């Protein structure tokens, strides 16, 4: 029987694992594209990856109506494999893994992009990804003010993360803004951003969906996991590009920042747009396997 791996790295260890993988040569551009199959009530996803001594595959589902039924919007399972024999090593809960790896990648980006003294975090969203991002970003920056903007349960969620409920006007005071929602149109006016603000957008992987506006994209240095994935899946990049207001040649890759091969203009806002990639799942699952009790 394939064992169930129920212990994943904590926030600091997950961030360190992602950083080390990119520093040591993992190439996000070499990964396979996500396979999406539309079904009546959502999507089914297939995300395979290979890295070092491991391979793995995530089978996931996205059911937009699930929260109204008291069920997770994203569900799935991950199978970690031995890279040489392709023998199954472990099964991991897909939703838990997705939360862990997404927050870790975002926190790494914040560590590379945000001002060292960034202390005010505005979070759009009240779901598991929002919670994971608050915890992860607190490990890399001295966040002492968390402001939550959400359509429902904002005050309750804010209380649970030692923050307060707010509104879009709070973007003007934010050092870091996290967009972790199911929104299909921009959440705020990019003209509100401070010059040195860092924005993290993780809520979508579809070219017709976005969380930030053209003003945010065009005013910012835009950092992505991989150019190919961003140009294929990131509506926050694809739509401004289609409108002719954004140059894709200006995209900066996260791996280049980690390796010191790319520089960022710290005098303007920074935007990290994540679509979530299969290599991230594999790095976190393999790290959990290697450090299991």
- CA contacts within 13 A on the Cβ side of 46: 5
Confidence of residue 268 (pLDDT cuts 50, 70, 90): very high
Spatial distance between the Cα atoms of 50 and 83, rounded to a whole number of angstroms:
7
Task: Give the torsion sign (CA, 48, 129, 153, 198).
Answer: negative
* pLDDT at 108 > cutoff 90: yes
Confidence of residue 269 (pLDDT cuts 50, 70, 90): very high
Angle at CA of residue 196, ends 192 and 202, nearest 5°? 75
Q: Which CATH architecture has domain 11-97+279-290?
A: 2-Layer Sandwich (3.30)
- Determine contact, residues 211/187, Cβ cutoff 8 Å: yes
What is the chain's mean pLDDT, rounded?
A: 96
- What pLDDT digit, counting tens, does each position of 171-218 carry? 999 999 999 999 999 999 999 999 999 999 999 899 999 999 999 999
Which pTM was predicted? 0.96
Q: What is the pLDDT of residue 274?
A: 98
Among candidates 193, 279, 199, which has minimal Cα distance to 237? 199
- What pLDDT digit, counting tens, does each position of 254-263 carry? 999 999 999 9
Q: What is the pLDDT of residue 73?
A: 87
H or E element that contains 258: helix 254-258
Spatial distance between the Cα atoms of 102 and 54, rounded to a whole number of angstroms:
20
- Determine contact, residues 274/201, Cβ cutoff 8 Å: yes
Question: Greater confidence, 162 or 73?
Answer: 162
Q: What is the pLDDT of residue 38?
A: 93
Average pLDDT estimate for 35-58: 96
Look up tokens 């402001």; give the residue. Answer: 147
- What pLDDT digit, counting tens, does each position of 136-149 carry? 999 999 999 999 99
Query: What's the CATH code, domain 109-276?
Result: 3.40.50.720
Residues 6+ apart with CB under 8 A from 263: none
Residues 6+ apart with CB under 8 A from 241: 231, 248
In SS3 terms, 184-248 reads as: CCCCCCHHHCCCCCEEEECCCCCCCCCCCCHHHHHHCEEEECCHHHHHHHCHHHHHHHHCCCCCH
Average pLDDT estimate for 18-40: 96
Domain spans in the chain, listed from the N-terminal domain onward: 11-97+279-290, 109-276
- What pLDDT digit, counting tens, does each position of 77-106 carry? 999 999 999 999 999 999 999 999 999 999
Strand partners, 221: 270
Average pLDDT estimate for 36-48: 95
């Amino acid at each position: 029987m394939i064992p169930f791996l129920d212990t994943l790295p904590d926030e600091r260890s997950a961030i360190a694992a992602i950083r080390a993988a990119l520093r040591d040569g993992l190439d996000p551009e070499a990964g396979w594209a996500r396979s999406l199959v539309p079904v009546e009530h959502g999507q089914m996803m297939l995300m395979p990856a290979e890295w070092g001594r491991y391979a793995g595959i995530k089978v996931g589902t996205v059911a937009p109506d699930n929260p109204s039924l008291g069920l997770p919007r994203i569900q799935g399972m991950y199978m970690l494999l031995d890279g040489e024999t392709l023998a199954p090593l472990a099964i991991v809960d897909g939703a838990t893994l997705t939360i862990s790896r997404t927050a870790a990648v975002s926190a790494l980006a914040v560590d590379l992009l945000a001002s060292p003294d960034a202390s005010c975090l505005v979070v759009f969203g009240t779901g598991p990804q929002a919670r994971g991002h608050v915890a992860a970003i607190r490990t890399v920056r001295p966040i002492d003010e968390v402001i939550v903007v959400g359509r429902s349960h904002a005050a309750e969620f804010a209380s649970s993360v030692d923050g307060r409920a707010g509104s879009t006007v709070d973007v003007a005071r934010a050092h870091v803004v996290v967009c972790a929602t199911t929104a299909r149109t921009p959440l705020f006016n990019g003209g509100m951003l401070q010059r040195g603000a860092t924005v993290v957008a993780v809520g979508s992987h579809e070219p017709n969906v976005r969380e930030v506006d053209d003003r945010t994209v065009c005013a910012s240095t835009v950092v992505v996991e991989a150019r190919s994935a961003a140009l294929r899946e990131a509506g926050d990049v694809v739509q401004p590009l289609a409108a002719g207001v954004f140059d894709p040649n200006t995209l900066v890759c996260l791996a280049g920042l980690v390796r010191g091969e790319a520089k960022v203009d710290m005098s303007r806002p920074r935007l990290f747009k994540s679509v979530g990639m299969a290599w991230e799942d594999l790095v976190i699952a393999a790290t959990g396997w290697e450090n299991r009790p």
